[in-house]
Structure 1
Amino acid sequence: MRAKRTIAVITALLGLVLATAGTASASPGSWVPYGNNNPITGSSAKWVCGGSEVIAENMLAQVCAIRSGNGTGTAVQGAVIIRNNRSSLASASARVVMWETGGGTYDYWYCSSSGIAAHSWSVCFGASFGHAGKVYATGDAKNVALGYTGDI
């Protein structure tokens, strides 16, 4: 009987740890609205993005890894791009995780739910940090997994 109770307590504690490890320990990201300007084509940095995923009716998102200097710099950053094709305001939250290729995670960022204007782009950016080696990103938006980017 004691073994069953011990297993139940361990299971309950593990569940609590996993439930609170999500957005509670993530660093805050920041939303940047782009209006009807594509954030990738207007940037001097190199963006490597995963495929676009439908996150809601008339809303698409993709996760991206960004490197400064058109891909030759040492500053890297993760982002989630959201395109609202609706004719009205929509809301979304997003999360992005940066990974070292062949290694572990660097950090992850969470952007709380925010309004995204009709027919516009908005980007959730994680913090920029220095790293000369290869990285990639994973993420989600509106709790829809966005897959992963290629290495940059």
Structure 2
Amino acid sequence: MDDAHSDSRDVVRLVVVHSPRHQILLIPSESDDEDGWTLPSVPMRSGETIRRAASRHLRRTVSLPPLRISPLIGRLSRRDTAEGVQYVVVVRPVAESWPPAVRFAIAPEACWWTTAELRSDRAQVEPAELLDFMDGYWGGWLPDGEISLE
């Protein structure tokens, strides 16, 4: 699949997963009107691929060890602006697990969550489609490639 996108208003939302425990790393939402959780976001450079943007941020900016980017990519409209797209990508470590400090490397206030914990706590999550997306990923019922989350 060619994942090149040239619109610099596009962003990549990173789903950093801890596979053995089926956890995802979320950061507090910056929304003023609600307490909630969201995915780290990386702006894409013009002409940059989705995978390249994710890798650039995680390997260079955050200095994470080697990683795997899932071929599954979620796509939805940006909600903070009239134009642009959000791409949701799943990122796993090449090794069995991330180093313990990965949570702090992403954001000091980041937390590991399972989708079950988020559902039982009725936590506000953005994008709202994230929990179903991740349940599909863990269950293996989502196809590889780009899918619409809207």
Length-normalised TM-score, structure 1: 0.29
| Greater radius of gyration (CA) | 1
More strand by share: 1
Larger relative contact order (CA 8 Å, sep ≥ 6):
2
More helix by share: 2
Length-normalised TM-score, structure 2: 0.29
